Structure 1
Amino acid sequence: MSSARTKARRRALDILFEAEQRDVSPLEVLRLRREATDQTINDYTVVVVEGVMSHLDRIDEILGTYARGWTLERMPSVDRTVLRIGAWELLFNDDVPDGVAVSEAVALAKVLSTDDSPEYVNGLLGRLQQLKPTLLA
């Protein structure tokens, strides 16, 4: 598990979260961050943001189908964003081992969300991991 990738996921979460809050494109947020700051945006941050955006409808459909107790709309924004990143890595990024995708998402939830969020994220992504062959069929 690379700390550069962990930081890249965190930054991708910040960008996706901010875009959702401001109702703008994540790519616009990415562009503004590049222009407004000296911070270098890790390539993997861009890969995650673009990956989540390119598969967003399918990811949301899958999360909405298998989420228990919450609709996607009612979930806390941070949890929804964590789940989107985790689901993208799990289902659409072959460079990331499934277990790493799940554990990294759980780690983000631990740091950024409520006490109940890590268990919820782990449970939902764990279900998706088990169902992965059928979800991608």
Structure 2
Amino acid sequence: MAEGPKQQMPARRKARKRALDVLYEADMRARPPVEVLAGYLQRLEQPRPEHLGYAIGLIEGVAANQARIDELIDSYAEGWTLDRMPAVDRNLARIAIYELLYVDEIDDAVAISEAVELARQMSTDDSPRFLNGILGRIAEYATR
């Protein structure tokens, strides 16, 4: 029984990474995320990974709530505009904020630490601290 959560975390991290790939591509190409997702799914080999459903849920959820999510980023990113943020950070923040606000089964601390860990692997040296700060402030706001 103790193995369950350990097995879930890597799958969810992979799902977040896939969601990041699609959202990043959509951002860079100025295309709707759901349109980029459709192309991404066509290119995926069978059998599709088990975590794909969660990744699709993240992408569709971010796309459906992007105006609200971006508004929160603008409000809480002290000294940064959405356009000035590295694209990886911007999209990691979008995924984490979607999880904070709309995915009840994910603890806030998990959503934040996953975004910070992916930033550590994929973005600038300053990104983990930046994301931890903004996401912590948004999590505080969301629990009020």
TM-score by length of 1: 0.92
Partner of residue 100, structure 2? 90
Question: Are residue 54 (structure 1) and residue 69 (structure 2) matched?
Answer: no
Question: Are residue 35 (structure 1) and residue 42 (structure 2) matched?
Answer: yes
Partner of residue 78, structure 2? 68
Partner of residue 24, structure 2? 17
Question: Are residue 3 (structure 1) and residue 13 (structure 2) matched?
Answer: no
> Structure 1 regions of 5+ residues with no counterpart?
none
- How many angstroms apart in 2 are the aligned matches of 1:92 and 1:75? 23
Query: Runs of 4 or more off by more than 6 Å in structure 1?
Result: none
- How many angstroms apart in 2 are the aligned matches of 1:13 and 1:3? 15
Partner of residue 107, structure 1? 117
- How many angstroms apart in 2 are the aligned matches of 1:83 and 1:29? 19
RMSD, aligned CA: 1.3
SS in 2 for 1:73: helix
- How many angstroms apart in 2 are the aligned matches of 1:28 and 1:83? 21
Select 1:128's aligned residue among 89, 113, 138: 138
State the identity as a percent.
Answer: 48
> Structure 2 regions of 5+ residues with no counterpart?
none
TM-score by length of 2: 0.88
Partner of residue 127, structure 2? 117
Count of matched residue positions in the alignment of Structure 1 and Structure 2: 134
Moved more, 96-105 or 32-41: 32-41
- How many angstroms apart in 2 are the aligned matches of 1:4 and 1:121? 22
**Cα deviations by residue, 1:56-96 (Å, 9 ceiling, x for unpaired):** 00011111011112111111111100111111101111121
